[in-house]
Amino acid sequence: MNITDVDHLLDKLEKMNFSEVDLEFDQVKIHVKKEKSGVSSNTERTVNLPNTNEVVIKSPMVGVVHLEKQLKAGKAIKQGEVVAQIESMKLFNDVTSTQAGTIATIHVKNGDPVAYDQPLMTLVKGNQNV
């Protein structure tokens, strides 16, 4: 099983009606838990918060987060800038910002295990020319 297979599996599971599931095959174990919310589920990895000027950057997959070294609250970032990497099955996958802005809060520490769709950081939308 490779990372593409895991992504495909997670996409399929997202469409199913369950709250929590454990899967095990070969030597791979996967635990998926959906958060209950009033918001409909979608595959977007970044969610605009209602009535605010904030954007939450979420983990696109299960793994270990590796934050960029210069990342800290108050730092201005550009749209498309790599803000972290998620290590999953010894592969590193970039997490990029979909908005230009300033980091308001970092919700995880470098090396923390993260779940699919877990908030990594919150941005305050800013100048697109950052």
- CA 14, CA 60: separation in Å to the nearest integer? 12
Strand partners, 24: 29
pLDDT for position 22: 75
Other Cβ atoms closer than 10 A to 100:
19
Give the pLDDT confidence score for residue 35 in this predicted structure: 65
Confidence of residue 13 (pLDDT cuts 50, 70, 90): confident
In angstroms, rounded to a whole number, what is the distance separating the alpha carbons of residues 88 and 6? 10
Q: Is 48 exposed, middle or buried (0-12, 13-18, 19+ CB in 10 A)?
A: middle
Instruction: Give 51's contacts (C-beta < 8 A, 6+ positions apart).
Output: none
Higher pLDDT, 74 or 18: 74
pLDDT mean over 98-123 = 92
Phi first, then psi, for residue 75 (nearest 5°) are: -80, 135
Flag whether pLDDT at 6 surpasses 60: yes
- Burial (CB < 10 A; 0-12, 13-18, 19+), residue 96, is middle
Q: Is the pLDDT of residue 16 over 70?
A: yes
pLDDT in tens, 48-100: 334 368 888 999 999 999 999 888 888 999 999 999 999 998 889 999 998 89
Q: What is the pLDDT of residue 42?
A: 37
Q: Please give the Cα distance from 7 to 107 (Å, whole number).
A: 23
The pLDDT tens digits of the residues spanning 29-51 come to 777 777 665 444 433 334 333 43
